[in-house]
Amino acid sequence: MKIKQILLIIGALTLSVAFLYPIYVGNKNKECCKHIQNELITTYNELDDRDSVILKLKTKLLETESELSTMNEEVKRLSDENGLFTSMFAEIEGQPGGHEILKHLWNQMGHSK
């Protein structure tokens, strides 16, 4: 009789484990999936934030490139203008009395030696 009781207990435990283990594993899998899903949502949000920052930086870069291009054009224009005035002053300097006129103008501007 004791052997039958032991076998009955073992059988009941085996059936219990057979039915309860998949439920336990299923719950653990659901918890794990929920955790992974939360991590994915957090990662997507971080990526959205980074995409926003990248877009702002690209916009700022384009603005800066535009400003730099404008400044380079202005530097070229001023350099050309400077070259023109340098040529004009050289012509005046080479004329009779030109040196004295330029020296007089230079001193009037407050640039005496």
Total number of domains in the chain: 1
In the chain, % of residues over pLDDT 70: 93
Instruction: Give the confidence band of 34 by pLDDT, cuts at 50, 70, 90.
Output: confident
Q: Cα torsion for 30, 31, 37, 42, to the nearest 10°?
A: 170
Residue 63 lies in a domain: yes
Q: CA–CA separation, 25 vs 32, rounded Å?
A: 10
Residue 77 lies in a domain: yes
Banded pLDDT at 113 (limits 50, 70, 90): low
Predicted model pTM: 0.50
Task: Using the predicted structure, report yes or no on whether residue 74 has a pLDDT greater than 90.
Answer: yes
Please give the residue range of the domain that contains residue 39: 2-108
State yes or no: pLDDT of 81 exceeds 90: yes
Domain assignment present for residue 113? The answer is: no
Would residue 80 count as lying in a domain?
Answer: yes
Q: How many whole angstroms separate alpha carbon 43 and alpha carbon 52?
A: 14
Angle at 31 between CA 26 and CA 37, to 5 degrees: 120
Rounded CA gap, 15 and 75, in Å?
Answer: 89
What does the pLDDT read at residue 1? Answer: 66
